[in-house]
Amino acid sequence: MVNSDAKKVVLKTLGNMQEELFKTLSGLVQIPSVVGDEGKAQEYMAKLYKDLNLQVDIVETKLDEIKNHPKYLALQWPYQNRPNVVGIYRGTGGGRSLILNGHIDTVSPEPVTSWKYPPFSGKIEDGKLYGRGAADMKGGLIANYYALKAILDSGLKLKGDVQLQSVIEEEAGGSGGLLALLVKGYRADGMIFSEPMGFNLMVATAGTCYFRVKVKGKPAHGGEAHKGVNAAGKMIIIYHALEALERQRATQVHYPLFDQWLGQSAELSVGSFHSGNWPSTVPGLAEIECRISFIPGEELSDIRALVLKTIQDACREDPWLKEHPPEVEFFGWQTEAWEQDPQHPLVSVLKRQAEDVLGQEVGFTGFPAGMDNRFCGYYGIPSVSFGPTGELHIVNEYVILDTVLASAKVYAMTILDWCGYETDES
């Protein structure tokens, strides 16, 4: 618990830091950090951590250390000059340790010509800060920092250790980010992800499976098209079978925390469809790339088997596909679903402090995609996501500044409650 005196002084300190917090966040948003190019923004975070007199570890990922890990996802970018950054506060002892984690990488800002303001402007207008990464999740990263800063500036000493983590490539699977840090031993008794959850406690994520299907046809000149077999047409048969699977799972597969997010728990989408390269040639090859998601309780191996069976069953109905079965490849995101016991003490502490600071009930939610929390599940570390409000992954991305400050207040109270603290007079 946090006594009223400690709460009052820390919240007052944070309130006095409001303009500084907003300026610091704007400065970070002005540094492009699209996944694969996070180095400059990480220098910014390292300086902040050094200014707080934390132990600052610049941790460059080594491929040999993670490539054989069962949760590793292969990616296209080298790891040089794009490290993870960790700021470590060493507690006085006797308290629980805590990690406040955020990712520095963002998705692409394209199409940049559609933005109201340049995507790396950090423009503030009507209580919102605009720019790629403002909501996802530089707002949370800066809230983490000011939560700890306010505690230390208030003269309180924490009993438990605290790590501020700024990690790379969460948007592309997180192997070189949080997973790499966990492999190296950067762990704690609990972890909070400051993702933009709109003041909800996110305690579950969907599993994700990417797959690619290739169908061969028989090329022919357009003037003799009847002599060929159109690969695109044959792929349509598989496309419709996957559509039917999507409809079936939409009605039969339910997980309440996902249903409340978008009204559907499991998704299947065909993200790309390519076939042919000339109008007067019957295409001899067609390819689709797809994503299927699944809920806690379902296994990745079973989802892969379901995809294969769906495609195989469709092919049995067509003579060409029966004799020329398609090639199916699983690639990219291959992640299990994850869920956290909502009654775990870490979640309870965060919920209690959030409701106290915000003066409103805070509910639970699930996120219908993969997030870094799943790595914590593998290592047995309790975790939860909670953070500010905004719009992300869109043109004109923004975060509502008051919710960034409010998030920092919640994190500060949670740190005090979870880690324990002493005053200078103690």
pLDDT tens for each residue of 367-395: 988 899 999 999 999 999 999 999 999 99
Amino acid at 230: N
**Residue 425 clears pLDDT 80, i.e. is over it:** no
pLDDT tens readout for residues 77-121: 999 999 999 999 999 999 999 999 999 999 999 999 999 999 999
Domain boundary among 335, 356, 391: 335
The sign of the CA dihedral 72, 73, 78, 82 is negative
On whether both 194 and 248 belong to a single domain, the answer is no
Residues 215 and 191 in one domain: no
Half-sphere CA count of 77, side-chain side, radius 13 A: 24
Residues marked as catalytic: 105, 170
Residues 13 and 34 in one domain: yes
CA 171 to CA 106: how far, in whole Å? 7
Residues 391 and 300 in one domain: no
DSSP per-residue codes, 200-226: -EEEEE-EEEEEEEEEE-B-EEGGGGG
Does residue 76 have a pLDDT over 90?
no
Residues 149 and 20 in one domain: yes
- Residue 9's domain comprises 4-205+338-423
Whether residue 60 is found in the same domain as residue 96:
yes
Q: What is the pLDDT of residues 174-195, one digit of tens each?
A: 999 999 999 999 999 999 999 9
pLDDT of residue 281: 97
DSSP string, 101-116: EEE--B----SGGG-S
Average pLDDT over residues 260-275: 93
Instruction: Please tell me whether residues 44 and 188 are part of one structural domain.
Output: yes
Nearest Cα neighbor of 144 from 409, 381, 416, 417 is: 409
**DSSP 3-state assignment of 369?**
coil
**Is the Cβ–Cβ distance between 303 and 291 less than 8 Å?**
no
Is 46 a residue whose pLDDT tops 90?
A: yes
For 334, other C-beta atoms within 10 Å of its C-beta total 19
Residues 222 and 125 grouped into a single domain: no
Please give the pLDDT value at position 321.
98
Check if the beta carbon of residue 87 is closer than 8 Å to that of residue 80: no
CB atoms within 10 A of CB 65: 13
Average pLDDT score over residue span 267-272: 97
What pLDDT does 262 receive?
Answer: 80
Q: d(Cα 334, Cα 298) in Å, to the nearest integer?
A: 13
Do 54 and 148 lie in one domain? The reply is yes
Instruction: Identify the domain boundary among 335, 353, 379.
Output: 335
Angle, vertex CA 101, rays to CA 99 and CA 107, nearest 5: 170
pLDDT surpasses 60 at 167:
yes
Residues 6+ apart with CB under 8 A from 6: 154, 156, 416, 421, 423
Same domain, 251 and 315: yes
Neighbouring residues of 423: CB distance < 8 A, sequence distance ≥ 6? 6, 155, 156, 157
- Domain end: 279, 309, 335, which one? 335
Upper half-sphere CA count for residue 323 (Cβ side, 13 Å): 5
The model's confidence at residue 424, banded by pLDDT at 50, 70 and 90, is low
**pLDDT on residue 423:** 77
% pLDDT > 70, the chain: 99
Among residues 339, 392, 391, which one has the least CA distance to residue 368? 339
119: domain CATH number is 3.40.630.10
365 and 320 in a single domain? The answer is: no
Query: pLDDT tens across 342-369, in order?
Result: 999 999 999 999 999 999 999 999 998 8
Structural domains counted in the chain: 2
Phi, psi of 241 (to 5 degrees): -65, -40
Lowest mean pLDDT segment, chosen from 124-128, 265-269, 335-339, 421-425: 421-425
Per-residue pLDDT, averaged over 135-161, amounts to: 98
Closest Cα to residue 376, out of 148, 35, 98?
98
Tell whether the model's pLDDT for residue 166 goes beyond 80.
yes
Residue 1: its pLDDT value, please? Answer: 81
* CATH number of the domain enclosing 269: 3.30.70.360
**Cα distances (angstroms) measured from residue 168 to each of 116, 204, 259, 318:** 27, 22, 30, 46
- Helices (H), strands (E): how many in the chain? 13, 21
Q: Are residues 171 and 41 in the same domain?
A: yes
pLDDT of residue 217: 97
